[in-house]
């Protein structure tokens, strides 16, 4: 498993540059086509019910990106915190959505706020396997209850990559080199014409056991 931890100090710079240059070239969301209202139609309809069914009253959305689709989600009764690595974006969200909390952090190294439900969507496929491990261990150490993250069932092996905003390879935590158990719950998270994928949802204990924590 490659170790690109020496690059982590520059991770925020690379994602900030992608934000400033609109790297994903989507007309609706600077966070890319996966953050549009069309793409997230089914997830927006099912996510709030799942959070409530799990008895969760607080949510950490990391990375929250530009909050484009989440602002259309029914968050009534859910204490929402959005986190992102891009300081400029976080500052803007704090100003435009004062009813929610927003923090700037790097998932690979900064402590995560504790929440009942942590959603780490559309980011692990940008990270090396070593950085994926760091993020998952960070989640466990936060003491949060549930993890939801982008998941592709048809992937048979997680090839390694170098972390960065233009990196992409689908994520399946149940295959090599991670070998997690199947998620307790799944939610559909794609639109017609896109690669099929889901939100896999695991309890903290399942992630912690995998790392012996």
Q: Could you write out the DSSP letters of every residue in 114-126?
A: P-SEEEE-S-GGG
Which token pair is 52? Answer: 């409530």
Which token pair is 131? Answer: 């950085």
Mean per-residue pLDDT of the chain:
91
Give the number of other CB atoms < 10 A from CB of residue 96. 11
List strand residue ranges (DSSP E) for 114-193, in order.
Answer: 117-120, 146-151, 185-188
Percent of the chain with pLDDT over 90: 77
> Is the pLDDT reported for residue 2 higher than 70?
no
Give pTM, 2 decimals.
0.91
Q: What is the pLDDT of residue 5?
A: 44
| Domain segments of the chain as ranges | 5-210
Average pLDDT estimate for 166-193: 94
CA atoms within 13 A of residue 27's CA, in its CB half-sphere: 1
Q: What is the pLDDT of residue 106?
A: 96
> Is the pLDDT reported for residue 1 higher than 60?
no
Buried b (16+ CB within 10 A) or exposed e, 99-109: ebbbbbbbbbe
Between residues 185 and 4, which one has the greater pLDDT?
Answer: 185
The set of residues, in sequence order, having a beta carbon less than 8 Å from that of 20 and lying 6+ positions away, is: 88
Average pLDDT estimate for 103-120: 97
Q: Please tell me the CATH code under which domain 5-210 is placed.
A: 3.40.50.150
């Amino acid at each position: 498993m490659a170790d690109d931890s020496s690059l982590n100090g520059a991770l925020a710079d690379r994602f900030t540059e992608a934000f400033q240059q609109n790297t994903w070239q989507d007309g609706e969301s600077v966070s890319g086509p996966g953050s549009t209202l069309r793409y997230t139609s089914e997830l927006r309809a099912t996510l709030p019910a799942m959070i409530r069914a799990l008895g969760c009253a607080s949510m950490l959305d990391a990375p929250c990106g530009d909050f484009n689709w989440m602002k259309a989600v029914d968050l009534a009764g859910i204490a929402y915190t959005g986190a992102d690595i891009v300081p400029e974006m976080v500052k803007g969200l704090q100003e435009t959505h004062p009813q929610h909390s927003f923090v700037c952090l790097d998932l690979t190294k900064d402590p995560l706020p504790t929440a009942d439900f942590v959603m780490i969507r559309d980011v692990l496929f940008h990270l090396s396997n070593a950085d994926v491990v760091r993020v998952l261990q960070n989640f466990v150490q936060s003491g949060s209850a549930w993890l939801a993250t982008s998941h592709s069932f048809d992937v048979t092996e997680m090839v390694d990559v170098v972390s960065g905003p233009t990196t992409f390879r689908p994520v399946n935590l149940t295959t090599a080199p991670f070998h997690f158990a199947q998620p307790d719950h799944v939610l559909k998270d794609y639109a017609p014409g896109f690669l099929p994928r889901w939100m896999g949802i695991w309890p903290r204990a399942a992630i912690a056991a995998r790392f012996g924590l």
